[in-house]
Amino acid sequence: MNSKQARRPSNLGPQSIPSLLVISAAFVSGFCIMTIEMLGARIMAPYFGGSLSVWGSILTVFMLALACGYLIGGKLSARQPSLFNYAFFFLAAAALSLPIIFFADEIMRPIFLAIEDPRYGSLLASLFLYFLPTTILGMISPYSVRLLVENSDHSGQKAGLLFFVSTIGSAAGTLGTSFYLVLWFEVNEIVFGTAGALALIGAVLMVAGIRRGQVDGA
C-alpha cells in the first residue's frame, strides 16, 4: 500500500494474523463499550439523577469518543499495523476504565459542586469518566479492519464482518448488562470484569504478536 508496508513484507501476510483472534477481540470490545455505557447512567445517578438529559450526556460523550477513536485508530492503522499496537489498545482501554471504579466520586463530586445544572454537570462528568476509555475502544474498530484485510477486493467484506461482530458484541453487552449482570453483580464488579476482559484480550494479543515476532523493534 505504501512504502512503509513494502519495508515490512512479512508484517501482515495472509497467514500472519489469526482472524479468529481479531474477530473475538472486536466482539469483546463491542461488548465492553456497551457494558460501560449501560452502567454509565447508574454510576452518575447519585450525583446527576436519572433524568433523560443524563442519558443524553452519556450517549453524546460515547458517540464523540467513538468518532475520535475511529479517526485516530484509522490513522494509526496506516502506519506499521501490528498485533502489538492492537494489544496495547486493549491494555490501555482496560487501564483507563479503572478510574471509573476508583475515582468516580472524586471526579463527580467537584463537578456536582461547581455546576448546578445536572445537564452540564453530567456532560462534563461523562467526559472525564468515559471519554478516554471509549476513544481507545473506538480505535480498535478500524485497526481490526486493517489487520484482517488482505487485499482491497475484500476490504468491504472484512469491514462488514467486523462491524457485524462488534455490533453483535455491543448488543450482547447491552442486554447482558441491563438484564442480568446488574442483578448478579455490583456496578464496580462489572466494570472490573470489563477491564479484566479487555486486559486478558490484550495479553493474548500480545503473546500472539510476540510469537509472530511482530513486536516493534524486535
Partner 1 sequence: MALKLRSVVFFIGLLTCSVLAAETLHEERSLYRDITVTQEGDRRCLVFNVHRGDRNQTCMNTVSPERLVFEYAKMTFAGLLLNPNPQKILIAGLGGGSLPSTLAKLYPDAEIDVVEIDQAVVNVAKQYFSFEETENVKVTVNDARVFVKRASLLDQRYDFVILDAFTGDYIPEHLLTEEFLEEVRAIMSPDGVLVANTFSTSRFYDHESVTYQKVFGEFFNFKLPSSGNRIIIARDAPLPPRGELAGVARSLAPSVEKFGVPLLEYPSRLSTRVDWDMSRRALTDQYSPSNLLRDN
Which positions touch partner 1 (CB under 8 A)?
A: 42, 45-52, 112-113, 116, 118, 179, 182-183, 185-188
Residue 173: all three cell numbers together: 453487552
Supply the minimum distance, in Å, between the C-beta of residue 52 and partner 1.
Answer: 5
Q: Which is nearer to partner 1, 77 or 122 (CB)?
A: 122
Residue 81: helix, strand or coil by DSSP? coil
Q: Which is nearer to partner 1, 103 or 179 (CB)?
A: 179
Distance CA 81, CA 84 (A): 8
Cα angle 143, 144, 146; round to 5: 65
Q: Which of 127, 152, 159 is closest to 58 using CA atoms? A: 127
Q: Quickly list DSSP for 23-42.
A: HHHHHHHHHHHHHHHHHHHH
Q: Where are the beta strands (DSSP E) in the chain?
A: none
Supply the minimum distance, in Å, between the C-beta of residue 4 and partner 1.
Answer: 48
Supply the minimum distance, in Å, between the C-beta of residue 181 and partner 1.
Answer: 9
Distance between start and end Cα atoms, the chain = 23
For residues 114 and 48, is the Cβ–Cβ distance under 8 A?
A: no
Q: Which is nearer to partner 1, 105 or 216 (CB)?
A: 105
Supply the minimum distance, in Å, between the C-beta of residue 49 and partner 1.
Answer: 2
Supply the minimum distance, in Å, between the C-beta of residue 57 and partner 1.
Answer: 13
